[in-house]
Amino acid sequence: MRIAILGANGLLGQSLLSLPVVREHTIFPLDQQELDITDTKAVVSRFDELAPELIINVAAYNAVDAAESSAEGRQSAFRINADAVGVLAKAAHTIGATFVHYSTDYVFDGLKEVPYVETDTPNPLSVYGESKCKGEEYVLREIDLGLRGYVIRTSRLFGGANATGQGKESFPDLVLRLCGEKQRLEFIDGFE
């Protein structure tokens, strides 16, 4: 199978690339340098060229604090997490590829006292959550039109540092590094 993985140098992308079942196929690892997912013409052209049968989107703008604190961060979040996802889903549908899009539990408000399920209504409390929710809406709309597609919501990502050293630090790696630099660490839980 011909598989395109968007966001290939990130933590999740690197984890996917390391899976033996994935390595059995023809893989096109694409990151920002190989494909600007915000450029509609580039996306359409690259998908036509590569003809992937499966497209896995793990690319995201995940600078949660920047999305909240600046107009530029908000614009970037919606451009990458929403608008580009809509373009990717539509382009995948056009070439007949299956589309898998990774989203987040930030689409929920965190008030439910039991685990969320697929049919729960999203209610994001942050710009990041809103942008990811909008991206999901674009994918689901394209699925309603006949796209073979899936939306997968994750919580936090954990794992070892990626093989290329080009992706982001994992959460455990970040904590270990900060423990060596600071006397006190503070974290947010993702919900207000």
3-state secondary structure of 58: coil
* Catalytic residue positions, numbered: 128
Distance of CA 175 to the CA centre of its chain: 22
**What residue type is 108 in one-letter code?**
F
Helix (H), strand (E) counts: the chain:
8, 5
Q: What does the longest C-alpha to C-alpha distance in the chain come to?
A: 54
Least Cα distance to 88 among 138, 29, 21, 28 occurs for 138
Q: CA 45 to CA 40: how far, in whole Å?
A: 9
